Structure 1
Amino acid sequence: MAESNIKASFSNAVSGSQRATLDDLVWDTQTKPGVSVAILYRHETSGEYTALVDMAPGTNYAAHTHQLLEEVFVISGTFYDNEKVYRTGDYVIREPGAVHTTRADEDCRVLVTYRRF
């Protein structure tokens, strides 16, 4: 079954759609200092999910990988990985197992999706 951290419920959905505003989101600030995550959609069985991620200046992740395909769209700000600088409007997709780093030198908001390849 699909889950969401959005306060809304599918029981109130029209035509199977679920909608939310930024005020509806539940932000997890316990993941890492300087990082806030709002899960928009999560499929517990497959592990797939979509989230908004806010990173404060100075936030970084050491080299790591993901088991799922990762898509990142930069909504605002700038972040870096070991290959490139990504600015507002930029998009990157990584296949499962791709080693990368992440760093934000300014406030940054990204939409991240992890899904089966």
Structure 2
Amino acid sequence: MTSSSHSASTPAEQKMLSAPLVETASVITTMPEVLSYCKTSAAPWESGSYPGTSFKRIAAVPEAGLRAIILKVEPGAYIGIHAHDDEYEQLFLISGDFCDGTRDLRPGDYLLRRVGAPHEASTRYGAELLVIFNKISFSPAAT
């Protein structure tokens, strides 16, 4: 395993970040009091950035730098060492087993990763996770 840091550098990651949330009106419904609603059972699975991964887009708020996906990782899959240089990554394990290289997560476990922290991931039996990415932004201090 070699260490390499990247932020949406592969074409698949760029596709995941830039494509429309979901194109089917029945999946995403905009309501005045809610930014978006996703019926996840109707959202399509898309190929992930790494072999053995797929995801469903469930939310995106570009002006807030927020996006959320359901990530499915097939049994035995490995996600190589990488980092998110400009965003926090939150993980909530819905089902299965998941290891981020330093700790084993079980269903119901939550992890908030620091911006730029190198990490990897694997699963023995498969996993489904809620993953939320929050971009960092800096604004000048008010004077």
Tell me the TM-score normalized by structure 1. 0.82
Tell me the CA shift for residue 15 of structure 1: 3.1
- 1:1-117 matches, within 5 Å, as 3-5=20-22, 7-8=24-25, 13-17=30-34, 18-44=36-62, 47-66=65-84, 67-117=86-136
Tell me the CA shift for residue 6 of structure 1: 6.3
CA offsets per residue over residues 49-93 of structure 1, 9 Å max, x none?
100000001111121100200000000011001210001000000
Shift of the 110–10 alpha-carbon distance from structure 1 to 2, 3 Å rule, reads closer
Who is 2:140 aligned against? Answer: none
Q: Determine the C-alpha separation between the residues in 1 that align with 2:52 and 2:93.
A: 17
**Structure 1: gaps of 5 or more residues:** none
Which shifted more, 24-33 or 34-43?
A: 24-33
Q: Determine the C-alpha separation between the residues in 1 that align with 2:55 and 2:75.
A: 15
CA offsets per residue over residues 86-110 of structure 1, 9 Å max, x none?
0100000011100111001112000
How many residues are matched?
Answer: 115
Tell me the CA shift for residue 30 of structure 1: 4.9
Q: Determine the C-alpha separation between the residues in 2 that align with 1:94 and 1:111.
A: 14
Tell me the TM-score normalized by structure 2. 0.69
Structure 1 segments of 4 or more deviating over 6 A? Answer: none
Aligned CA-pair RMSD: 2.4
Q: Partner amino acid for 2:80? A: A
Whichever of the two has the greater Rg, that structure is 2
